[in-house]
Chain A
Amino acid sequence: MDNPHWQELLTTHTQKLLHISFLYVKDWHAAEDIVQDVFVKYFETYEQFRHESSVTTYLTRMTINRSKDYLKSFRYRTQQLTTYFTQSITTKDSLIINEEQNEIADAILALPLKYREPVILYFYEELTFHEIAVLLHLPESTVHYRFTQAKLKLREQIPEKEWGLLNHE
């Protein structure tokens, strides 16, 4: 890689993009592939980048779009089926692991994508509703509605003692 700017971009953005992608697709292998593709695509079309938004916003949007594409893909569906059929074998292990992990993160990751998305972007990326709306090309009211719905769903799952975390707004 000859361009020092590219090296800097890779160093500063890989972690962030990888985390976002994982929070969408819930699979590290898929997240790695998605982020790789995002970087390669960006470096290939670097000269055509119109600087209408910042590089960070552009890369984030590309990562989100590709993650959503993955969730619609045949590869994801096949993986879901495999997981479904092998679940019975690993139930015991999963239970042990779940005990070790935090319930609130599991609950967020268990949300359907359209509710999970605003929660991730709001809490994890710490974006405002307006910024989320711009990033996802959605009306701000839609983002707000989905976020509220997500919170309601989470309250059904999260123990009472942790509810306070959701009132971070």
Chain B
Amino acid sequence: MNNIREKLQQKMGDTSKQEQRVQVRVKKRLAKKKWLNFKWVGSVASLAACLLIIFFILPDHKPQQQGAVEIGGVMFDEKTGHEKAISDLLYDEVLASLNVTKEEKLFYTPARYTDYTYVTTHCQTTNCRILALRDNAKTGSIYNLGSGTIKIEALSPDKKMVALVLRTKKQDTLRFMYTNDITDHPEIPEYFPQIKKVKWLSNAKIQLTLNSGKKEIITIPRYYK
């Protein structure tokens, strides 16, 4: 050791206490930082867990919380393939109305103007049965539309009724549905050649334009106003 180093060391004296203090403080600061990091990671993880519960778990449990509704079966969106449940309450009736078994795949199309869903199957026959289903888990209603495919939906001027054109290979038929909860649907037991256009003339009258160009005016018995 050179003399100047020795002199400087003498000047500084014993520094073991300072060294010890530094080491203890460094350890404390690192431990604190580690704890802060842990807390931060913990907070983020908790937030992520909460978001997961809110977005994924709660929606699945929601129907059960509202009354422990059991799912009877599923149906698939005709266009997107999106899966939708049918409550156990209505499932058997839906199958019976469509005259199919549980093995048959059901397809649906949301109604344009009501909260009904048109449910049908991809049966091998020409005209498959179709029904309008309103399934609110606890309550619901089924309206048997018959056989065929829905080609036209037209809303009445008072927006309380929808006229449907149901097409089979041979002819078209008319169906009417209330947009509210009334299920006493008016009936027109008449067959038509292919209908091109439906126009509401008033809340009780519609004008049909057939493919041939012929026009017909139909008066609808409105049970409710």
Contacts and interface: CB of A to CB of B under 8 A. Distances in A.
B167 to A, nearest CB: 71
A126 B10 contact: no
Interface string B73-95: 00000000000000000000000
B30 A40 contact: yes
B5 A40 contact: no
Contact of A14 (B4, B10, B12, B23): B23
A146 B2 CA distance: 20
Interface stretch (B14-22, B58-66, B116-124): B14-22
A59 interface: no
Interface string A143-169: 000000000000000000000011010
A37 B23 CA distance: 11
A156 to B, nearest CB: 17
Contacts of B4: 104, 108, 119, 123-124, 165-166, 168
B18 A18 contact: yes
Contacts of A18: 15, 18-19, 22
B125 to A, nearest CB: 70
A105 B7 contact: yes
Given A28-B18, A32-B18, A39-B26, A168 B8 contact: no
Contacts of A126: 2, 5
Interface string A43-60: 110000000000000000
Interface in A67-113: 101-102, 104-106, 108-109
Interface size bracket, A side: 20 to 34
Interface in B2-51: 2-5, 7-12, 15, 18-19, 21-23, 25-27, 29-31, 33
Contacts of B7: 102, 104-105, 108, 165
Interface string A21-39: 0110000100110011001
Contact of A36 (B2, B12, B22): B22
A120 B7 CA distance: 12
Given A36-B26, A43-B30, A44-B33, A15 B19 contact: yes
A168 B3 contact: yes
B25 A105 contact: no
Give the most central of B9, B25, B33: most A CB within 10 Å.
B25
B148 to A, nearest CB: 70
A48 to B, nearest CB: 16
Contact of B2 (A35, A43, A44, A168): A168
A138 interface: no
Contacts of B26: 10, 36, 39-40, 43
Interface in B87-134: none
B2 to A, nearest CB: 5
A19 interface: yes
5 contacts: A15-B19, A18-B18, A19-B9, A31-B18, A165-B3
Interface of B: 2-5, 7-12, 15, 18-19, 21-23, 25-27, 29-31, 33
